[in-house]
């Protein structure tokens, strides 16, 4: 009996010694946490649900199937269907039908999501947003200048800070100045600060009265409820104030403008690095200036032609676009030089520079990833497909002369699959590919005559493993083998286009040894 108790005690001691080692070892071997680093469209109220999509940025390269299975978007508790698209570690979920007003939405990613190493999500991710208006009256927190304050610069803005988000239309309709002043409203500070910029200078020695009507509405549609009054005076006349650039913006259709950071000695590497070929530049000045002088004092390095889209005259903003599509993934520098004139003839004194990089995901030119073709095209059960990437230069192309392969001097029906990396949400223009693709060989080793091109109903149902997310095109034609050896090149001339019109300046070529 004593021996038995001793054996059990020893076993327990051994387990006690082993398990901490096991747990400690697992903790050492564990990868960094797999988690959600960022998401959009962000929490809170969204006034335009019809344009909303949900995107999540994950910390690791993901098992896309597992992640998509673990993701859900619910609308008032009901599941929302949609489509997924990926760019690196970020995926976007586009609802099958537009989201609606007056709804509550919950975004969820369960712990069933895994990275490519099998590591599960650290913890369940949940976030919410709403398209339902809140019934909270807005209130004025502060006015700048304060009540009975003084403006010393005839171009200064008036700023009104609210407790709730407001919009420009509500400011135009509900806020007035006496005497009347022409100007422009814009919204800052998370949507809660209304800023008024006069189109001309404030009048010297005049006291202005600000009236905010009781009908003033927040972005959610609630009124302020009671009239608000303030007043301020203008101290001096500053007709000799020089105009200057307030900000520069990247404009994309249907998107909120992105502000560009100017280069200076403190920010020498600042820049906007997802510029699309269709993105436009907007320069915003402190006051209306001559748009012609803006253009004449704006240069771009390396040199490119810009089109001024703002009509001639005086304006506080000017919009420019590239005359031709800029080269992709290239750095450009916009430089605004001193000399831009306002209505009084005062000239800007400062130089401002803004760097961009034209690597927007919607403008990326197509590029060839690799090809696949059968080595036994006559064998329907096993055509023996061979795969070649762009790195497989001068690899072996084993074109046997067997009856089901490539017998000499016979035109054999064959298919060639081509895989491409393309811009987001587009495919290869098959007409462009048909025109530019050819098979060349030295020593008349082979010849190929294309007959048909398609992007579905492929000879092999499954794509090349690892290339499933690339654009897949199949070229059908007749391949004729000869007794001669040589270099066989699958060749696409420069100018290949996708369906968005993005054009590749590169020659794509895979050369193999027969």
What is the mean pLDDT of the segment spanning 237-266? 81
Dihedral sign for Cα 259, 55, 82, 366, please.
Answer: positive
Topology of the domain covering 36-130: Immunoglobulin-like (2.60.40)
Cβ neighbour number for residue 447 with a 10 Å cutoff = 16
Is the pLDDT reported for residue 200 higher than 60?
yes
Asked, colleague to colleague, whether 140-234 and 245-357 share their fold, the answer is: yes
What is the mean pLDDT of the segment spanning 300-328? 94
Q: State the DSSP string of 154-198.
A: TT--EEEEESS---HHHHHHHEEEES---EEEEEETTTTEEEEEE
What's the predicted TM-score (pTM) here?
Answer: 0.52
- Per-residue pLDDT of 446-500, as tens digits, reads 999 999 999 999 999 999 999 999 999 999 999 999 999 999 999 999 999 999 9
Q: Cα(170)–Cα(160) distance, rounded to whole angstroms?
A: 13
Q: Cα(180)–Cα(199) distance, rounded to whole angstroms?
A: 12
**CA-derived radius of gyration, the chain:** 32
Q: What angle do CA 84, 129, 217 make, to 5 degrees?
A: 130
Topology of the domain covering 140-234: Immunoglobulin-like (2.60.40)
- Per-residue pLDDT of 480-493, as tens digits, reads 999 999 999 999 99
The domain ranges of the chain are 36-130, 140-234, 245-357, 367-513
CB 252 within 8 A of CB 171: no
Averaged confidence pLDDT in the chain: 89
Maximum separation of any 2 CA atoms in the chain, in Å: 109
pLDDT of residue 481: 95
- Per-residue pLDDT of 398-440, as tens digits, reads 999 988 999 999 999 999 999 999 999 999 999 999 999 999 9
User: Is domain 245-357 in CATH 2.60.40.1220, yes or no?
Assistant: yes
Verify cis geometry, omega within 30 degrees of 0, for the bond prior to 194: no
């Amino acid at each position: 009996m004593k021996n038995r108790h001793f054996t059990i005690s020893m076993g327990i001691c051994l387990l006690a010694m082993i398990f901490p080692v096991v747990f400690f070892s697992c903790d050492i071997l564990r990868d960094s946490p797999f988690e959600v680093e960022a998401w959009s469209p962000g929490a809170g109220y969204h006034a335009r649900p019809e344009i909303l999509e949900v995107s999540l940025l994950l910390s690791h390269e993901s098992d896309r199937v597992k992640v998509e299975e673990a993701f859900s978007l619910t609308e008032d508790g009901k599941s929302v269907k949609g489509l997924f698209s990926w760019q690196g570690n970020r995926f976007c979920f586009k609802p099958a039908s537009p989201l609606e007003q007056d709804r509550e939405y919950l975004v969820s990613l369960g712990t069933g999501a895994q990275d490519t190493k099998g590591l599960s999500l650290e913890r369940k991710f949940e976030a919410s947003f709403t398209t339902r208006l809140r019934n909270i009256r807005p209130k004025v927190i502060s006015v700048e200048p304060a009540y009975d304050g003084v403006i010393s610069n005839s171009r200064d803005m008036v700023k009104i800070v609210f407790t709730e988000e407001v919009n420009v239309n509500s400011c135009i309709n509900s806020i007035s100045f006496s005497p009347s002043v022409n100007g422009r409203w814009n919204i800052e500070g998370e949507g809660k600060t209304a800023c008024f910029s006069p189109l001309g200078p404030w009048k010297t020695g005049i006291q202005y009265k600000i009236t905010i009507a009781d009908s003033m509405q927040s972005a959610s549609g609630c009124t302020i409820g009671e009239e608000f009054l303030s007043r301020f005076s203008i101290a001096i006349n500053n007709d000799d104030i020089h105009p200057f650039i307030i900000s520069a913006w990247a404009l994309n259709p249907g998107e909120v403008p992105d502000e560009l950071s100017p280069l200076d000695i403190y920010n020498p590497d600042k820049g906007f690095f997802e510029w699309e070929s269709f993105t436009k530049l907007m320069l915003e000045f402190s006051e209306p200036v001559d748009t012609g002088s803006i253009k004449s004092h704006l240069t771009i390095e390396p040199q490119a032609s810009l089109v001024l889209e703002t009509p001639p005259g005086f304006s506080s903003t000017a919009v420019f676009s590239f005359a031709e599509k800029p080269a992709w993934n290239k750095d450009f520098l916009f430089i605004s030089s001193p000399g831009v004139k306002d209505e009084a003839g005062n000239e800007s004194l400062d130089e401002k520079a803004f760097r961009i990089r034209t690597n927007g995901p919607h403008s990326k030119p197509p590029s060839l990833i690799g090809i696949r073709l059968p080595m036994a095209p006559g064998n329907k059960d096993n055509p023996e497909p061979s795969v070649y990437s762009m790195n497989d230069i001068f690899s072996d192309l084993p074109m046997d002369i067997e009856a089901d392969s490539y017998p000499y001097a016979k035109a054999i029906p064959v298919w060639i699959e081509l895989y491409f990396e393309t811009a987001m949400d587009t495919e290869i223009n098959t007409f462009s590919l048909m025109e530019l693709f050819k098979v060349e060989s030295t020593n008349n080793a082979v010849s190929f005559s294309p007959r048909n091109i398609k992007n579905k109903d492929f000879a092999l149902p499954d794509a090349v493993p690892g290339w499933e997310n690339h654009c897949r095109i199949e070229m059908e034609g007749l391949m004729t083998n000869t007794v001669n050896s040589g270099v066989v090149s699958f060749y696409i001339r420069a100018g290949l286009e996708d369906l968005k019109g993005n054009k590749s300046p590169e020659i794509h070529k895979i050369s193999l040894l027969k």
